[in-house]
Amino acid sequence: MSSEEWRRRNGYLRFPAYGNFPDLSLNNTLMAKYLTPEMYEKLKNRKTSGKFTLEKLIQVGVDCPSVPWGRAAGVVAGDEETYTVFSPILDSVIKDLHDYGPEEKQKRDVDCKGLRDATIPRAKWKATRITAWRSLKGYRFPAACGRLDRRQIEQAIQSALKRLKGEFKGKYYSIVDLPESDQKHLTANNLMLVHNTPEMTCSERSRDWPDARGIFFTSDKTFVVHVNEADHLKVICWSQGSDLFDTYDRFQRGLSQLEEELKQNDEEFALSDHLGYIVSDPRHLGTAMEVRMRVQFRHLATDNRLHFALKCLNMKRCRQGKILAVQLLQGMVEGINKLSGLEALLDQGHEIHEALNDLQDAPVVLPQLRFQ
């Protein structure tokens, strides 16, 4: 087999510029992996009813070529129709990201009561953060919407947020009106809206910033909602040292209450049987949710075998498209408990070689974790 044939079969063959075809010769995104000159010619004249084109879809990948280990999608959708109009390229990207085929259907399971072995050693548990992205049905996404669309979206979401009750009652601020003290606190805790990343600017999602952008938060700032950032909505619920399932339960109740209030405005989240929650970035399709935990393993953190343990447990960037929300939590609990067992052995001065071999028998799928 020639080197060119091997590169083509394994997704490493990138095409140089010709005519209006972009230069993808050094591009590492999934878009560059699957966009061939033939596919480009087939799709270049298509557009959605919101006038979103192939050029707009791939521009973020052309301008941000990523790195080989980054697994960047290289595409950003402009509306719900994007995923059907440009399915020849997007189905391949989604399959690569989520191992999820075009004929598969989504299942929903948000009840965490049936989780097994839900106890994680408190000493290892530092913080939990759950994030969800959502789009409103019928509106163009941030990469395609204009000022009027954006302001209508903000108005609909703002009125719903102001009606939240109980522990989710809070304040909504336009970015330009946000008090400096709150801005510093939110920025320090990585809870502030971000608009100047290459992915945001190259996809045109930061146009007219900060017009019609806002943030909502409760008095303790543990339930936060971003409006018109990378998506119409980004909901964040976080805690320090709190139980994972308490945090998830609170997150789910807050998101459900917001969804009910939006329905009072005749708005609903974009959702399909195939893709789950439909959002701008294909990486977030499906549950459109990310669960992160900060855990502390004093011995494992400096042990070279940690990487092998993570590989055995399949602890990698989350494939959300095919995984239920409850599976994310279950996988996280099982994985951290297994790592805690390794940490305990090292703490007692024992060897972990046999324990590492045992990990290969029952791998689990986990969301992205941060270790310290």
CATH architecture assignment, domain 105-293: 2-Layer Sandwich (3.30)
Whether 129 has a binding-site annotation, put simply, is yes
Q: Is pLDDT larger for residue 99 or for residue 188?
A: 188
The per-residue pLDDT for 319 is 41
Q: Does 283 have pLDDT greater than 80?
A: yes
The per-residue pLDDT for 68 is 72
Whether 291 has a binding-site annotation, put simply, is yes
Whether 130 has a binding-site annotation, put simply, is yes
Whether 319 has a binding-site annotation, put simply, is yes
Q: What is the mean pLDDT of the chain?
A: 83
Q: Which two tokens stand for residue 178?
A: 């946000």
Whether 122 has a binding-site annotation, put simply, is no
Q: In the chain, what are the domain boundaries? A: 3-97, 105-293, 297-371
Whether 167 has a binding-site annotation, put simply, is no
Whether 51 has a binding-site annotation, put simply, is no
Distance CA 277, CA 110 (A): 13
Closest CA to 271 of 256, 286, 253: 286
Q: Does 318 have pLDDT greater than 60?
A: no
Distance CA 277, CA 272 (A): 7
Same fold, 3-97 and 105-293: no
Q: Which two tokens stand for residue 272?
A: 């399909």
- Across the range 175-200, mean pLDDT stands at 93
Q: Does 369 have pLDDT greater than 50?
A: no
- Note the pLDDT tens digit of each residue in 212-254: 999 999 999 999 999 999 999 999 999 886 567 788 889 999 9
Q: Does 118 have pLDDT greater than 60?
A: no
Whether 365 has a binding-site annotation, put simply, is no
Whether 140 has a binding-site annotation, put simply, is no
348, burial (CB in 10 Å: exposed 0-12, middle 13-18, buried 19+): exposed
Closest CA to 111 of 245, 238, 274, 254: 245
Whether 143 has a binding-site annotation, put simply, is no
The per-residue pLDDT for 365 is 43
The per-residue pLDDT for 314 is 61
Whether 95 has a binding-site annotation, put simply, is no
pLDDT band at 320 (very low <50, low <70, confident <90, very high): very low
- Across the range 143-155, mean pLDDT stands at 96
Q: Is pLDDT larger for residue 168 or for residue 345?
A: 168
- Note the pLDDT tens digit of each residue in 50-93: 999 999 999 999 999 887 767 789 999 999 999 999 999 999 99
Whether 67 has a binding-site annotation, put simply, is no
What CATH number does domain 3-97 carry, 1.10.135.10, 3.40.1830.10, 1.10.10.10, 3.30.530.20? 1.10.135.10
Percentage of the chain exceeding pLDDT 70: 73
Whether 318 has a binding-site annotation, put simply, is yes
What 3-state DSSP class applies to 124?
helix
Contact indicator for 306, 300 with CB cutoff of 8 Å: yes
In Å, what is the CA distance from 75 to each residue of 65, 113, 240, 242, 332? 11, 36, 34, 36, 28
Closest CA to 257 of 141, 192, 167: 167
Q: Does 105 have pLDDT greater than 70?
A: yes
Whether 290 has a binding-site annotation, put simply, is yes
The per-residue pLDDT for 144 is 96
What pTM does this model have? 0.82
The per-residue pLDDT for 111 is 58
